[in-house]
Amino acid sequence: MFKFLKEKISKVVKSLSEKIETKKPVEKKIEVEKLVKKEVKKGIIKKVFEKVTKKVLEKRISEKDLEEVLENLEFSLLEADVAFEVAEKIKEDLKKNLVGKEVRRGKVKDMIIQSFKDTFSEILDVTKIDLENIVKEAKKENRPVILIFFGFNGCGKTTSLAKLGKWLRNSGYSCVFAASDTFRSAALEQLEEHAKKVGVEVIKHKYGADPAAVAYDAIAHAKTRGINFVLIDTAGRAHTNRNLMEQMQKIIRVSKPDLKILVMDSLVGNDAILQAKMFNELGIDAIIFTKVDVNQKGGAILSVSHLLNKPILFLGTGQSYSDFKEFDKEWFINQLLSE
Amino acid sequence: MLDLGKNLSNLIMKILTRTTVDPEDVEVLVKGLQKILLQTDVDVKLIFELSENIRRRCLKEKIPPGLTLREHVMKVVYDELVKLLGERQASLLGKKRIMLLGLFGSGKTTTAGKLARYFQKQGLRPAMICSDYHRPAAPEQLMQLGDKLHVPVYVSKEKDPYKALKEGLSKFSRYDAIIIDTAGRDALDKELSEELKKMDKICQPDEVLLVIPADIGRIGGKQAEEFNKLVGITGIIITKMDGTAKGGGALSACSATASKVKFIGTGENLEDFEAYDPVRFVSRLLGMGDLESLLEKVREAEFREEDVEKIISGKFSLQDFYNQISSVQKMGSLTSIANLLPGLGHAIPENLLKIQEDKIKKYRHIIQSMTKEERENADIIHSSRIKRIARGSGTSEKEVRDLLKQYGHAKKIMKKIGGIRGMKRGKLQQLVKQFGLKL
């Protein structure tokens, strides 16, 4: 996974470390003024200087060493769909960590990798979501945990919802789906078919019905039967569409979700940042990335994490229900940096 | 990132005011352009090729007579991008078997519906075949779209994509166009790519259209290349252009498959579908206002001579008010007009335009609910008439009163304009137009 980004990074690490390792203390010429004559004329001392070149030895990593490689790094990151500002950050961090440092022989590579690790770690550093605790809290209040899914058209909301449903069931929780996508053709049928396969009940209205009302009914249903989770599936929407964003706000108002989950297509390029920014007006609590198996680049994950500072819950990694991986920071960083 | 367009406009304005070409200026422009294209997901290799061509043409070519340096450079940038994306596309008329393919969730099924609608509008009879039996409820989705459009859909009961194709093709042989919707797939997946190859063999399509979302990253090029190797792509449809993405990934797909863009999907409704227009697409990619189509649109919405006459003479009825509103509407939504004006697209908050648009729509409905007499003489509209009009147009009485108030304002302004003596006809027309735009 993320082969592309990994290759790019390892290439940069290699070329940079080779460059610095093979770097000999460089001779550098600087000009200094040297006093050559001193004479006294009519009581005035006159000093005569001459310009002389002197050789000095330069040993540290200079900005110049990094320049070319850093430029390369930036392009490589951009090629891997890392957004512009994030690529800049990685570049700057690396510069900060390396410029002016004196490095022992053989340790350069480790140092570069450590710098990448620190940067990625900082980008992905967020408080994890404690699902068990959320369930406990909800139980105290005698209500189900409510999760709402939203995102752009075709990003994989319904599939992710079904996968999470399966995952919850496997973890011993009961759940119910709310078919709040009442707009797209066959959205209801799609959810019902998933539900049948995962063994979960669906609460639905007709097409064109108020999505908030569907969510409300599903929550009421779950309450009376003591079901642990309500998963609300909403219609795909463009983040630029005011009316649909307002509709989403209404669904959120009515359902009062514990987690608002943004579903993001990992194939999206630089637009990912803008999409996330605009969806964040609704207040994102967690993110699920889909179609990760198709993409070897994985840049969007870094970009969106950097921007939102919100935890990534799962990665969708294939067509079947079990292709659903809990996101783990260490694992992800290892994927990118391991040899 | 929204400011990119502004930046390029500024860049060009600032550095290209001189009459001679300075290599340094061109370099600044190329660097700026590179940055913008990088952020719109255009492939890095393509960007370098493009920059090289632009450099060469800007510095070596003579500026054609009648063009300023700025115009010349703009033209070169346009030309180079259009070369990749394609000129205006020939229509799909006469193409019988059209197969749609693409990645998961790129919008193939919705596009199939939109394409069917496109054929209907041309006066042809389309039919659709579903050969997606992987995704749950994909056949239902296509069938529901077919129901909406009254277009027949063939679905295999055995859920066999090959059988669906064979039987569908023979069943629909009399139809003008057959649209084949396939399952979303990763072109590098062995099983799925084998399936596609086999389907292609059975279908023998006249057109193989790759459906690509506008927000796809640089992976677009690689996937397009693989798809092309498998079945040979003849054209590209870009979907989800209503988001914030600029469609740069599509450029890579074009260059990887040596095929051109044919259509653009711009929304979730079946009507939100346009034939590709290179000028507009490139303007959007670079975030630059598209003055050309604006002028064209304004021309279309030209005011009629007699309207101006009426205004001069101080007679300005509700009917005239209606005509004005309509001609503004003819130019497209206010949002899209604002986007066409350089700079303006960034300057106006979006929800403001949305409110204005909704208002104009309502005004039209209200006036449509009036009698002819009322339209000619607004003074007779009193409370009982207002009640009736509100009911008839599905609005509230307050909204009808609002409209009458607006109309009163407009009338006053018109009177003032008409009162200015010696004003030239052309200038007046201009003023009227401005007023129309400001409604």
A111: contact with B, CB 8 A cutoff: no
- pLDDT of B424 reads 46
Q: Which of A8-22, A243-257, B58-72, B244-258 has the weakest average pLDDT? A: B58-72
B21: contact with A, CB 8 A cutoff: no
Closest CB from B107, B244, B249 relative to A239 = B244
User: pLDDT tens digits for A41-72?
Assistant: 666 666 666 666 655 555 567 777 777 788 88
Total-model pTM: 0.73
The residues pairing with A175 across neighbouring beta strands, listed in sequence order, are A229
Asked whether the beta carbons of residue B243 and residue A268 sit closer than 8 angstroms, the reply is no
Asked whether the beta carbons of residue A268 and residue B44 sit closer than 8 angstroms, the reply is no
**Residue pair A198/A184 in contact by the 8 Å Cβ criterion:** no
| B:94-113 residues touching chain A, CB 8 A cutoff | 103-107, 109, 113
Residues of B in contact with A83 (CB under 8 A): 39
Residues of A in contact with B106 (CB under 8 A): 154
Residues of B in contact with A155 (CB under 8 A): 105
For chain B, count helices (H), then strands (E). Answer: 21, 8
Residues of B in contact with A183 (CB under 8 A): 268
- pLDDT of A31 reads 66
Nearest partner of A30 among A62, A7, A52, A63, judged by Cα: A52
Question: Cα separations (Å) of A145 from A235, A282, A303?
Answer: 21, 19, 29
Whole-number Å distance between alpha carbons of A181 and A164 = 17
Residues of A in contact with B350 (CB under 8 A): 240, 242
Residues of A in contact with B268 (CB under 8 A): 153, 183-184, 236, 238
Q: Is A75 exposed, middle or buried (0-12, 13-18, 19+ CB in 10 A)?
A: middle
Confidence label for B344 from pLDDT (cuts 50, 70 and 90):
very low
The residues pairing with A312 across neighbouring beta strands, listed in sequence order, are A287
pLDDT score of A208 more than 80 = yes
Q: Would you state the structure tokens that stand for residue B127, as one six-digit string?
A: 């039919």
Confidence label for B149 from pLDDT (cuts 50, 70 and 90):
very high
**Residue pair A254/A212 in contact by the 8 Å Cβ criterion:** yes
- CATH superfamily for B292-438 is Signal recognition particle, SRP54 subunit, M-domain (1.10.260.30)
User: pLDDT tens digits for B101-113?
Assistant: 999 999 999 999 9
Q: Which of A80-94, A268-282, A291-305, B56-70 has the weakest average pLDDT? A: B56-70
- CATH superfamily for A61-123 is SRP54, nucleotide-binding domain (1.20.120.140)
B258: contact with A, CB 8 A cutoff: no
- pLDDT of B301 reads 44
Q: Which fold has domain B4-85?
A: Four Helix Bundle (Hemerythrin (Met), subunit A) (1.20.120)
Residue of A nearest to B267 (CA): A238
- pLDDT of B337 reads 52
**Residue pair A218/A232 in contact by the 8 Å Cβ criterion:** yes
Residue A156 or A83, more confident? A156
Across B377-382, average pLDDT = 86
pLDDT score of A7 more than 60 = yes
Residues of B in contact with A300 (CB under 8 A): 217
A274: contact with B, CB 8 A cutoff: yes
- pLDDT of B60 reads 82
The residues pairing with B232 across neighbouring beta strands, listed in sequence order, are none
Percent of chain B topping pLDDT 70: 71
Where do the domains of chain A lie?
22-59, 61-123, 131-337
User: pLDDT tens digits for B162-199?
Assistant: 999 999 999 999 999 999 999 999 988 899 999 999 99
User: pLDDT tens digits for B386-413?
Assistant: 999 999 988 889 889 988 888 887 777 6
A154: contact with B, CB 8 A cutoff: yes
- pLDDT of A191 reads 95
Where do the domains of chain B lie?
4-85, 97-286, 292-438
Contacts of B224 (CB under 8 A, 6+ apart): B210, B212, B233, B236, B252, B253, B254, B256, B257
- pLDDT of A273 reads 87
Across A198-207, average pLDDT = 94
Mutation for A interface: B38, B238, B355, most A CBs within 10 A: B38
Q: How far is CA B177 from the centre of its chain?
A: 24
- State the maximum Cα–Cα separation within chain B, in Å, rounded to a whole number: 80
pLDDT score of B431 more than 70 = no
Nearest partner of B423 among B305, B312, B307, B306, judged by Cα: B312
| B:303-332 residues touching chain A, CB 8 A cutoff | none
Mutation for A interface: B35, B104, B142, most A CBs within 10 A: B104
Residue B119 or B85, more confident? B119
Contacts of B349 (CB under 8 A, 6+ apart): none
Q: Which fold has domain A131-337?
A: Rossmann fold (3.40.50)
A197-216 as b/e: b if 16+ CB within 10 A: ebebbbbbbeeebebbebbb
Whole-number Å distance between alpha carbons of A288 and A150 = 10
Question: Is A289 in a helix, a strand, or coil?
Answer: strand
Across A63-92, average pLDDT = 82
Percent of chain A topping pLDDT 90: 48
Asked whether the beta carbons of residue B140 and residue A300 sit closer than 8 angstroms, the reply is no
- pLDDT of B346 reads 47
Whole-number Å distance between alpha carbons of A297 and A269 = 10
Whole-number Å distance between alpha carbons of B241 and B106 = 12
DSSP letter at B159? -
Query: Can you tell me the ipTM of this complex?
Result: 0.78
Whole-number Å distance between alpha carbons of A236 and B234 = 29
Total count of residues recorded for chain A: 339
User: pLDDT tens digits for B320-343?
Assistant: 777 766 666 555 555 555 555 544
Whole-number Å distance between alpha carbons of B437 and B439 = 6
Is CATH 3.40.50.300 correct for B97-286? Answer: yes
Mutation for A interface: B31, B46, B133, B215, most A CBs within 10 A: B215
pLDDT score of B347 more than 90 = no
Question: Cα separations (Å) of A331 from A124, A300, A328, B161?
Answer: 12, 17, 5, 39
B75: left (phi over 0), alpha (psi -120 to 50) or beta: alpha
* Mean pLDDT taken over chain B: 78
Q: Would you state the structure tokens that stand for residue A49, as one six-digit string?
A: 């200087």
Residue A88 or A255, more confident? A255
Across B134-160, average pLDDT = 93
- pLDDT of B7 reads 55
Whose structure tokens read 């009009």? B389
**Residue pair B21/B58 in contact by the 8 Å Cβ criterion:** yes
* E strand or H helix that includes residue B127: strand B126-131
